[in-house]
Amino acid sequence: MKLLVTGSSGLIGSEISEFFGGQGHEIHGVDNNQRAEFFGPQGDTSWNLERLSESISTYHHHALDIRDRAAVLALLSKIRPNAIVHAAAQPSHDRAAAIPFDDFDVNAVGTLNLLESARQSCPDSPFIHMSTNKVYGDAPNEIEMEEQETRWEYTDQAYIHGIPETMRIDRSKHSLFGASKVAADVMAQEYGRYFGMPTCCLRGGCLTGPNHSGVELHGFLSYLVKSNLEDIEYKIFGYKGKQVRDNIHAEDVAHFIEAFIENPRSGETYNIGGGKANSCSILEAFDLAEEFSGKPQRFTYLEENRIGDHVCYYSDLRKLRKHYPSWDIRISLRETIRQLVEGWQNRKQNS
């Protein structure tokens, strides 16, 4: 199989490249290290590209900007991949407000460029779009919740399993990032529903893993662990540090993508995250990081929360499990944090 992976030097892209490359598939990675432009040197992913190039004999790199429509059309026409995983994005809703044109051009226009190129060159190839739970905006904050000792939790029994795909995406505040990702998400659905292409949108919670270059504006769990290890003062933005996120290891995402490629559907949406079992608040994450690192977490608290931020969010995985019963979460939250601690420690030793 020839697999095209955009954002191949990022967390999900590199995990997908390794996962399928390890099975002997031909991997074509597309990444121009735009993350370094968005977040500065700390967001640089060139180390990941070097790692992929050395470890995967079937890896071919293309330093291409997905905003370049002619280049994207030409690349897909030449490669005609058997499957496409679109993980390239401007990923920060905080950063988007400062770079609205870049944000929309990368997230929305870049996705359209890839979808139309796929329709022209390989319309039967499964197209997996890495979307985000931010497409729901702050609508999840309207759910009835209670404040517990270390977290916020849903009390509305309709959401006891988490947020389903039926949660509305309009009439809510998204941030500009959330809005650009809505445009991409709906477009990927439409290429499936209108043209019959095998597409799906994976509306991720907190996707993470040891290869994540977490920064303050993106990569919650990875950056939190980095802060703990490097004695950086972590900033908590509102909600008393009790805001809840579900965390899924990138390897579990890769297993689902494999299942979808083997049995694709058209125009589907799936909430993919760790679910309630792999959810934690910031305060709870501090405790876990401290347990594995042996170091206390320094932090400062800011009363004002980030615009459009969720008070509590974890994914309802029932639809995903129903459509793909062979898939499930394999890596626990505790093991994920242990790997994050080990990953940052190894990276520091090798730098």
Q: What is the DSSP string of 23-62?
A: TT-EEEEE---HHHHHH-GGG--HHHHHHHHHH-TTEEEE
Mean pLDDT within 171-189: 96
Q: How confident is the model at residue 205 (pLDDT cuts 50, 70, 90)?
A: confident
**Mean pLDDT lowest among 86-90, 249-253, 302-306:** 302-306
Q: Is the pLDDT assigned to residue 281 strictly greater than 80? A: yes
Q: Is the pTM of this model over 0.85?
A: yes
Reply yes or no on domain 2-350 having CATH 3.40.50.720.
yes
Average pLDDT estimate for 184-210: 96
pLDDT value, residue 62: 97
Q: What is the pLDDT of residue 351?
A: 64
- Across the range 103-116, mean pLDDT stands at 98
318: confidence class by pLDDT, cuts 50, 70, 90: very high
Q: Which two tokens stand for residue 189?
A: 């659905």
- Supply 142's token pair: 């309207």
Residue 128 has pLDDT above 90, yes or no: yes
Q: Which residues contact 25 (CB under 8 A, 6 or more apart)?
A: 1, 2, 3, 58
Please tell me the predicted confidence (pLDDT) of residue 28: 98
Tell me which residue has tokens 């090798």: 350
Q: Is pLDDT at 217 greater than 80 in this prediction?
A: no
Domain ranges of the chain: 2-350
Q: What confidence score (pLDDT) does residue 207 get?
A: 92
Q: What's residue 35's pLDDT?
A: 73
Per-residue pLDDT, averaged over 194-223, amounts to 85
Cα torsion angle, 306, 309, 312, 317, sign: negative
Pull the structure tokens for residue 334: 């505790």
Residue 218: pLDDT band with limits 50, 70, 90: low
pLDDT surpassing 90 at residue 216:
no
Of 108-117, 189-198, 277-286, 302-311, least confident by mean pLDDT is 302-311
Segment 27-44 shows an average pLDDT of 82
- 306 DSSP 8-state letter: P
Percent of the chain with pLDDT over 90: 84
The pLDDT assigned to 215 comes to: 67
| pLDDT mean over 32-45 | 76
What average pLDDT is seen over the chain? 94
Q: Which residue has the higher pLDDT, 221 or 84?
A: 84
pLDDT at 7 over 70: yes
Angle, in degrees to the nearest 10, between helices 333-350 and 282-293: 60
